[in-house]
């Protein structure tokens, strides 16, 4: 890999991306607290173990200045515009002036994030999918100011990660989420209207439509809070059941309760 990669965040996307990148080079992963850093190290041990990657190739730190030696930094924190906009200028300041800057946003405006970072000419929206080691697609969205060099470096980075990159417009949800979440929410509404069990709907879509995972199980996997945020970003009405479960803290797989119990 030509780029020396830094990743900002400690969740599933950040750790999955770090594990994939560590196959071909050392990676710096920044976490916002020591507690988050410890969780990230445990997650990395599991993911790297499954990928037969040495987890020591990922340096976990809580000091943003450790990004000074990288050539590309990808922000991968929670899907929250205010939080990302507050952190991105700090990342741009810590990284070298010519570093490629990016965000794994799945639904937010890349132009707005690029503007917040203060370096739109070298910014890219790099939407990877969870679980990162298994999912081949990366949606690339660029602000208008992005240079040709930025575009080429982003594509080269995806190729080095073993991913297929597709340029998509900077619109809410890009391609996948813009088309996927109306379908997922329609499954929830059908659940509400029909009284069927989640297993019945998921089995029908897996066996009848050839989907690898049913829509309700997929929502649990994504996280109902994340699904709600994406739905709001793309202008979709959030189903009542999702609103109720989020309010109750039933966020899916990560909390052990959603449409299914863990």
> Which residues are known to be catalytic?
106, 127, 139, 177
Residues 166, 157, 59: CA angle, nearest 5 degrees: 130
Which own/partner contact pairs does 214-219 have at CB distance under 8 Å and 24+ positions apart? 214/187, 215/183, 215/184, 215/187, 215/188, 216/187, 216/188, 216/191, 216/259, 216/260, 217/259, 217/260, 218/184, 219/184, 219/187, 219/188, 219/252, 219/258, 219/259
Report CA dihedral (47, 52, 58, 60) to the nearest 10 degrees. Answer: 40
For residues 144 and 226, give the distance between their C-alpha atoms in angstroms, rounded to a whole number: 27
**Tokens linked to 104:** 């794994």
């Amino acid at each position: 890999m030509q780029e020396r990669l830094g990743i900002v965040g400690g969740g599933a996307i950040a750790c999955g991306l770090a594990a994939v990148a560590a196959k071909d080079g050392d990676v710096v992963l920044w976490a916002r607290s020591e507690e988050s850093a410890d969780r990230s190290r445990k997650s990395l041990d599991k993911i790297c173990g499954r990928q037969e990657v040495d987890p020591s190739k990922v340096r976990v730190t809580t000091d943003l200045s450790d990004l000074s030696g990288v050539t590309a930094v990808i922000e991968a924190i929670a899907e929250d515009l205010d939080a990302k906009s507050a952190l991105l200028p700090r990342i741009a300041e810590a990284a070298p002036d010519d570093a490629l800057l990016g965000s794994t946003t799945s639904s937010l405006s890349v132009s707005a994030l690029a503007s917040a970072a203060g370096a739109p000419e070298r910014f890219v929206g790099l939407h990877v999918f969870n679980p990162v080691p298994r999912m081949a697609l990366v949606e690339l969205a660029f602000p208008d100011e992005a240079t040709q060099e930025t575009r080429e470096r982003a594509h080269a980075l995806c190729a080095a990660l073993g991913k297929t990159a597709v340029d998509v417009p900077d619109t809410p949800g890009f391609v996948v989420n813009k088309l996927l979440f109306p379908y997922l929410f329609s499954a929830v509404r059908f659940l509400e209207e029909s009284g069927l069990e989640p297993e019945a709907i998921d089995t029908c879509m897996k066996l009848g439509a050839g989907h690898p995972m049913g829509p309700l199980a997929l929502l649990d996997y994504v996280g109902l809070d994340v699904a709600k945020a994406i739905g709001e970003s793309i202008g979709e009405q959030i189903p009542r059941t999702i609103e109720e479960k989020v309010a109750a803290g039933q966020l899916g797989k990560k909390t052990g309760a959603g449409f299914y119990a863990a």
